[in-house]
Amino acid sequence: MAGDGIRTDGSGSRSSGRKRAFRLVAVQAATVSAATHLLWAWPRLVEPAASADPRPYVFVLAAAFTAVVAAATLRADEYRRLYALGAGTLAAYLVGYVAWHGGGTAAALSADPLAIVGKTAEVVGVAAFLALYRLAPPTSVVVARRAGDESEGSKPDGGESEDG
């Protein structure tokens, strides 16, 4: 999979298999979190009382943003800033849930199976994104590596080489 942002030319580090696994877990966790937010919010968007509660509208936007982060994580090179954004987004959902429910967080969580799925996915996702952050090189190294790959991948006639 040459276009998926994961280096397949053998120049990756020894932990490239671990990185791939963490990347897939992070993307899946972010996708599950986005889906749970949409599943919770969608039926509440049409209720008349929804105008008093901003959460359904915020959850739809949050789910879209989380889906974009998941797609970028799957398709982009290994950028630490992207991994920090993913971990921060999912952690913000966890903190927001606790802030919204306050002292009744455990009771609210135990009464809502969708929340259990979402919060579990968010905890797993934060861990996976943080692992990716720790395993990834600094962003400046990735940018320099990418610039070097692009200059080496071009032929004098303007075409790309077969291995690029």
User: Residue written as tokens 């899946």?
Assistant: 28
pLDDT in tens, 10-66: 445 556 889 999 999 999 999 999 999 999 999 888 876 656 788 899 999 999 999
Contact of 134 with 80, CB cutoff 8 Å: no
pLDDT in tens, 73-103: 999 888 899 999 999 999 999 999 999 999 9
